[in-house]
């Protein structure tokens, strides 16, 4: 707390005893969820923004700003699905993701797609009830299956806003965990956090 006080004083947020005090306000954000303002026309988001079903894509409500972020996806029901990262300008009605330069997506076949090419694959294909963990350090995306590292990673997006991205089709259902993880994240990685704004 002392460090925050010294920071506030040094940047003029807090006056020195003359009654001249400037208030420091941190903007509080709701939890990260699936973004119902950036989802496909035939997508259904339920369970307080954590379950994706129907047909189409959806992005997370927060871009990834910290150095090491992590989120999980449980395959609640098999079908056609994908999970990964994308820019915020991705067309959420155009699936499957991974067929453009804006998305890096693991699909139900265990392959990771970008720009219509398979750029990597998992040693194990995820199945119903499996939990996928995605760790991103602004260079690589690495994948975990039921808490176990898969030693499979690909180079991810560079620069600009990057969002968690998901799509479903043909009866697939995905449950997304942006916190309260099923498994412990890799060392140094944590949940996606909103960029903090000082007013």
Q: What is the pLDDT of residue 11?
A: 42
Burial of 97 per CB tally in 10 Å (0-12, 13-18, 19+) = buried
Predicted TM-score (pTM) of the model is 0.83
Query: pLDDT per residue over 101-140, tens digit each?
Result: 999 999 999 999 999 999 999 999 999 999 999 999 999 9
Q: Cα(11)–Cα(26) distance, rounded to whole angstroms?
A: 15
- What's 34-191's CATH class? mainly beta
Q: Cα(120)–Cα(140) distance, rounded to whole angstroms?
A: 12
Counting as low any pLDDT under 70, the low residues of the chain are 1-28, 196-199
**Per-domain boundaries in the chain:** 34-191
Spatial CB neighbours of 10, under 8 Å, sequence gap ≥ 6: none
Q: What is the pLDDT of residue 158?
A: 78
Q: What is the pLDDT of residue 164?
A: 98
Q: What is the pLDDT of residue 88?
A: 82
Q: What is the pLDDT of residue 2?
A: 44
Q: What is the pLDDT of residue 92?
A: 97
Residue 172 token pair: 């697939």
Q: What is the pLDDT of residue 22?
A: 53
> Dihedrals φ, ψ of 10, to 5°?
-70, -25
């Amino acid at each position: 707390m002392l460090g925050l006080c010294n920071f506030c004083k040094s940047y003029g947020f807090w006056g020195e005893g003359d009654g001249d005090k400037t208030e420091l306000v941190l903007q509080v954000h709701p939890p990260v969820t699936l973004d119902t303002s950036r989802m496909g026309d035939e997508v259904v988001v339920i369970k307080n923004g954590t379950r994706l079903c129907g047909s189409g894509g959806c992005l997370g409500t927060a871009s990834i700003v910290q150095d090491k972020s992590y989120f999980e996806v449980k395959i609640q029901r098999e079908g056609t699905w994908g999970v990964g990262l994308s820019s915020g300008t991705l067309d959420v009605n155009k699936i499957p993701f991974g067929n453009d330069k804006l998305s890096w997506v693991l699909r139900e076949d265990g392959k990771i797609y970008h720009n219509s090419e398979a750029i990597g694959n998992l040693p194990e294909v995820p199945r119903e009830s499996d939990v996928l963990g995605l760790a991103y350090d602004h260079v690589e995306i690495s994948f975990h299956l039921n808490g176990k590292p898969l030693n499979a990673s690909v180079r991810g997006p560079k620069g600009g806003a990057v969002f968690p991205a998901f799509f479903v089709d043909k009866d697939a259902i995905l449950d997304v965990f942006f916190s309260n993880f099923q498994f412990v994240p890799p060392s140094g990685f944590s949940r996606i956090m909103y960029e903090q704004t000082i007013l």
